[in-house]
Structure formats: C-alpha cells, structure tokens
Amino acid sequence: MMTSQNDANGPAGLEPVARDTLAGRVVLILKRFILMEGLHEADQLPPERTLAETLDVSLRVVREALGMLVGEGLIVKQHGRGAFVRALDRERLAADLSPAGSRRQTDGVHAARCALEIGAMYLVAQQATPADLDALCEIIGSMQRRVGRGEAIAADDLLFHQTLLRATHNAALQQIDYLIVESLRLDVYDQPGLLRRSLRDETGVIAAHQAVVRALAERDGEQASRAMRAHLDRLLQTADIESEVERVSLKASGKGTRTSADERGSKSGA
C-alpha cells in the first residue's frame, strides 16, 4: 500500500484528503456498509487490514475511524475478534448520511483518472521492466485466487492500477496516483458492499487486466491504451448502474425496522 503518500495532502484541487478527514470518510463508508448490507446487532465488520488495503489508508486511520464509531455507540470492538455492530436506529443512521460529493465532482475525478491511466499506457509499454510485468501477473493471480475463495478483489484491483502507474518509472506521474485511489474510494462509498465482495463481473475485470498486460509485454502502447480505455469505460459504466441501485437501497433501508432488538421487544410486548 502507498499509505504514507495517500494519507497526506497533495496539490490543490483534486488533493487527497488529510488523515483526520480520511478517518471521517472511512466512518461514512462503514455507516453506509452497515446500512446497505443490512447488518444487525452482533454482525461483524470487515477486518481492519481489509479496510486499510481496500481504501488505501493506514491501519492507524482505520483504527481511528473505528474508535469514532465506538464513540457514537454504533459498534463495539472485542480484542482479538474484531468490530461488531450494536443495536442501532436505522432511520436515524440513514438520515445522518450525506453524499460523498456532487455528481459533477465524482465524474471529474473519474475522468481525470481515465485520462491519466489511458495516456500512461504508452509510457508503461516503453519503460516497464520484466519485474514490473511479473508483479502485474502476480496480482492477477491473487485476484483469481480471491475469486475462487469468494472474496472481494477491490484491494487487488487498486494495487494492479497503482503498480501499472509505478511501471512508468516517472516520478511526476507516480505523485498523482491519488486520482486512482480517490476514484476507488468514491466507488466504495457508492457501493460499500465492495468491502466484502465484488459487485462486478470479476471474470471480466481479470480478463481486462490480462489484456492490458499482454499488450504491455508486446511493447504495444496503442493496444495497451485501447485495452485500458475499454476496461475503464466498462468499469465506470457498471459502477454508475450499481451506485444508483445502492442509492435506492439506502432510501429503502432507512424506512425499515429500527433494530433487531426493537423487533424482539415489540413482539414480546404484543
């Protein structure tokens, strides 16, 4: 992970958020995860390391975010076991959540990421070393193994794209990899289920990565650029559809029963 860079501030405009704000962003993502995934009292959150790797933040940021949720009474941490949801008011939680940003801002981040990665493929085709290509193939292998175990691939997907950018061996480009990170964080905010499973066509994502690597191995920057464009177009189009489904789900989940404990209490009092 590139946590030391992406936990810090960057250039103005599309800068990465500061670490204290990152913790707040993680809090919002986890609240949406609890609500949209239908978690109830005693259900477990994803492990700290999974959260850190998927969102490309440090474990310290994750622990800070979990501490904030403990302070709000939404979760309880059990030493050696993890974090678990407490009884909660789902309507109130839904009302507390606000959008990550305007649609225009989100689209701007995704567009900047596309321009960066598609254009960078020409340089990667020229500069990538055999070790770089081996690293990309190993990440693809890790994704295939995760799919076989039914695990989420978001963390490996992020690592693949970061590794591609590092393969340019261009310090200036590597310093703006936060565009990739921020694009993924916005995806996870809209689709918090990505924290524990892939909501996308995993086979299609892996095949697209393989197509990019094949073109790079042949030193064909044009083909690598086309493969990356097709991959990102499909990825972001799918994300738009799924985020709309998630938004509908968020509205619906806030209208459901308040807590599992409330359900039991109302039944016993009937």
CATH number of 18-98+254-260: 1.10.10.10
* Phi-psi map region of 169: left, alpha, beta (phi>0 left; psi -120 to 50 alpha): left
Read off the pLDDT band of 21 (50, 70, 90).
Answer: confident
And the tokens for 12?
């103005």
- pTM tops 0.85: no
Rounded distance, CA 25 to CA 192, Å?
12
Query: In the numeric block, which tokens belong to residue 83?
Result: 């974090």
Torsion of CA 105, 202, 161, 32, to 10 degrees: 40
Q: Is 20 helix (H, G, I), strand (E, B) or coil?
A: helix
Q: What is the pLDDT of residues 64-114, one digit of tens each?
A: 999 999 999 999 999 999 999 999 888 888 877 755 555 677 888 999 999
List the alpha helices (DSSP H) in 88-220. 90-96, 103-127, 130-148, 154-166, 171-174, 178-190, 202-217
Is residue 182 within 8 A of residue 109, CB to CB? The reply is yes
**What is the C-alpha to C-alpha distance for residues 22 and 19, in angstroms, rounded to an integer?**
5
Q: Supply the pLDDT for residue 118.
A: 97
Amino acid occupying residue 120: A
Per-residue pLDDT for 29 more than 90?
A: yes
* 121 vs 108: which has the higher pLDDT: 121
Name the H helices within 37-85: 48-55, 59-71
144, with CB counted inside 10 A (0-12, 13-18, 19+), is middle
Q: Where in the chain is the domain with CATH 1.10.10.10?
A: 18-98+254-260
Give SS3 for 44.
Answer: strand
pLDDT single digits (tens) 213-261:
999 999 999 999 999 999 999 877 765 545 554 555 545 555 444 444 4
Q: What is the CATH number of domain 103-253?
A: 1.20.120.530
Distance, in Å, from the CA atom of 218 to the CA atom of 195, rounded to the nearest integer, reads 34
- What DSSP designation does 41 have? T
Residues forming CATH 1.20.120.530 domain(s) in the chain: 103-253
